[in-house]
Structure 1
């Protein structure tokens, strides 16, 4: 179970990030957006598209100017080790927070939906061990698993969307701009808070076998942006804007509405496959990137440290005093706003450091010629 340094292609990367980041946009941030903008939640998601396009172009230029090399090695060669560590430290912290938020939210959802009598530590431990096992098996294993899991996730998503058309009333989407501008922009902030997690692609770029082209990168980010619209539109049109905003897991509640004829219902167990598929890939990728960014690639050192990190994660995520109300307040008031503000500006700050060095390198090559 070694963390193999095997490169993956662009398609595998897109499938992996669709699951890993898609679970955030499709599930975790949806109740935050609904509680912020209510009827105008879908407008909040729509307003996120232009800034996402600009941000994606900045990320692409970082990948292009660094030649998709390791960020740490590039900055260490052009600056020094201190600057290199300062560049990768935010990505390391983001991986840690992704692990905590994902495990805690998935554990809470598991407790309140289909395993109410199972203690938090048991659920958390099983989930963390599965993620660590996938991470230890290597990046290629995670990518292949994502390619296997994603098709069924998409099929089930389309299934619940079409079957629930019988319950949807699109008049709930009107009138437009029923809420104040601040509420709508707060929903946009949450949308961007989930999308800027694509910054992790910069920590993974040295493992890609081919260069990421801008159209492919835009397609990836816009596709995941589109995942926000589905559950928001469905929640509002099925339950109404205020009932949807009162739900803790609106995407799951839509599955409880599925009805085929008079005798086929209770198909919400399919949502368990969707949720756990995305969460597993998300946790595995975060674990892999965490230890890769820390340069802990040696088996003897990495596996014991990964076990220690997993134990700490289980203890923190299962803490009895951290209620769901406190957790929801934490991600809504602090986590996503801070992540959005910092990591939206992060690639532009990196460009300010990269462009002068690329320019000086070009000038030196020209003078030498």
Structure 2
């Protein structure tokens, strides 16, 4: 086994919460508000329920093959087709890494527009490369410390923006009927498809037999952390204006002025982005190099860290031309890609795994 570290169930859930929450705050908000308008919060609830399909599937798949990662399962138990799907997952992990790196750069360019994009890319790649190098245990412990701090800051921000919000902007409920809510729910379900990265982490969990409850609880926490940011900008700006904002939560935070002492809360938002994206990119970065090392039967993944750091930096810079293309990617590619990789394939794989398990006793008897 390449990875020797072990993490607790709680640490696993917290990694999932941080990883999904940051991408939800930064970019998914815009997608869902555009699609569902003031009913985005309903879409979030329905989408979370649908997203649990993928969460349960990847957890059950891991429990069917204890002690091995998603890539090992595909390469060892599903033949040539499994190897092909395994390569697709490695490409998917790479896309998710460069998406996070590019989001980091685009978010910071809103505040420091004269700084070149490559500078922000270099910062996040160096930070995440170090986190991946020191290992899964340290990454999980770091996140366990910073996530409660982020939550505490988020609660303060919510309280300080209450005076600027008019929750009548969330009315009428079902104002445009169910179809826009359904479209938004599919986007949220796709977002939860990112839970598939846990397939690279679950073999190193201390109590894998109880991890399903932890993962479902983590999904509920992600939903709770998403409801405030999706209702807040709508209550503050109205559904039409909120849908046009590139980063709705950032725009809401900039309205805060807590007197002479603190009047630049956008800096706090930047810290939130930095820590959240650092964890998210590190999780997918870890899954990418661990899976690659396992695919090539390497003894350690550390020799791949630096080469992949270069590939990630270059990929993030060439991924898209500007923020407009990033938004188009989220609307047109991110949703179907995540539904395929995070929902459909895990469900198909776990169904095949059950059939394999049923056939194996019959084979032994014959």
Task: Report if TM-score (shorter chain) is over 0.5.
Answer: yes
Distance in 1 separating the partners of 2:278 and 2:101: 9
Task: Tell me by how many angstroms 1:205 deviates.
Answer: 1.8
Moved more, 48-57 or 214-223: 48-57
For residues 228-247 of structure 1, the C-alpha deviation after alignment (integer angstroms, 9 at most, x for no partner) is 21111111111111111111
Structure 1 counterpart of 2:149, from 149, 152, 156: 152
Secondary structure of 1:258 counterpart? coil
Q: What count of residue pairs does the alignment treat as equivalent?
A: 361
Change (3 A) 1:83 1:105: same
* Alpha-carbon distance between aligned partners in 2 of 1:329 and 1:220, rounded to the nearest angstrom: 29
Residue equivalent to 2:308: 309
The Cα of 1:254 is off from its aligned counterpart by 1.7
The C-alpha deviation readout for 1:168-225, integer Å capped at 9, x for no partner, is 1111111112225432222112211211100111122222122134322210112112
What residue number does 2:201 align with? 204
SS at match of 1:275: helix
Q: Distance in 2 between matches of 1:324 and 1:154?
A: 27
1:66-85 equivalences under 5 Å are 66-80=65-79, 82-85=80-83
- Taking a change above 3 Å as real, the CA distance of residues 346 and 257 of structure 1, as seen in their structure-2 partners, is same
Work out whether residues 32 and 188 of structure 2, in 8 Å CA contact, stay in contact via their aligned partners in 1. Answer: yes
Secondary structure at the aligned position of 2:68 is classed as coil
Q: Please tell me whether the aligned partners of residues 91 and 200 of structure 1 are also in contact (alpha carbons under 8 angstroms).
A: no
Q: Match for residue 328 of structure 2?
A: 329
What's 1:136 paired with? 133
What do residues 240-297 of structure 1 show as CA deviations (whole Å, max 9, x unaligned)?
1111111100111121122335764222211111111110011111111111111265
For the residues of structure 1 that align with 2:319 and 2:190, how far apart are their CA atoms? 27
For residues 346 and 76 of structure 1, the distance between their equivalents in structure 2, rounded to whole angstroms, comes to 15
Matches within 5 A, 1:158-237: 158-211=155-208, 212-237=210-235
- The separation in 1 between residues aligned to 2:24 and 2:320, in whole angstroms, is 27
**3-state SS in 1 of match to 2:281:** helix
**Given the superposition, is the C-alpha separation of residues 21 and 32 from structure 1 closer, same or farther in structure 2, using an over 3 Å criterion?**
same
Per-residue deviation, residues 310-356 of structure 1 (Å, max 9, x unmatched): 22332332249701111211221112232224421112101221011
For residue 209 of structure 1, give the secondary structure of its aligned residue in structure 2: coil
C-alpha contact 2:47 2:184 (8 A) present in aligned 1: no
Per-residue deviation, 1:23:
0.9
> Which residue in 2 is equivalent to 1:339?
338
1:6, distance to aligned residue in structure 2 (A): 0.8
Q: Mean Cα displacement is larger for which, 313-322 or 44-53?
A: 313-322
5+ unaligned residues in a row in structure 1: which ranges? none
| Structure 2: distance between partners of 1:183 and 1:38 | 8
When structure 1 is superposed on structure 2, of 3-12 and 41-50 the one drifting more is 3-12
Aligned-pair Cα RMSD in Å: 2.3
SS at match of 2:172: coil
Q: Give the 3 Å change call, closer, same or farther, for CA 64–308 of structure 1 in structure 2.
A: closer
Q: Deviation string for 1:23-60 (max 9, x for gaps)?
A: 11222211111112212211211221321233333333
Choose from 275, 278, 285 the match for 1:277. Answer: 275
Report the CA distance between 1:75 and its aligned residue.
Answer: 4.9
TM score, norm. by length of structure 2: 0.91
d(CA) in 2 for partners of 1:277 and 1:354?
37
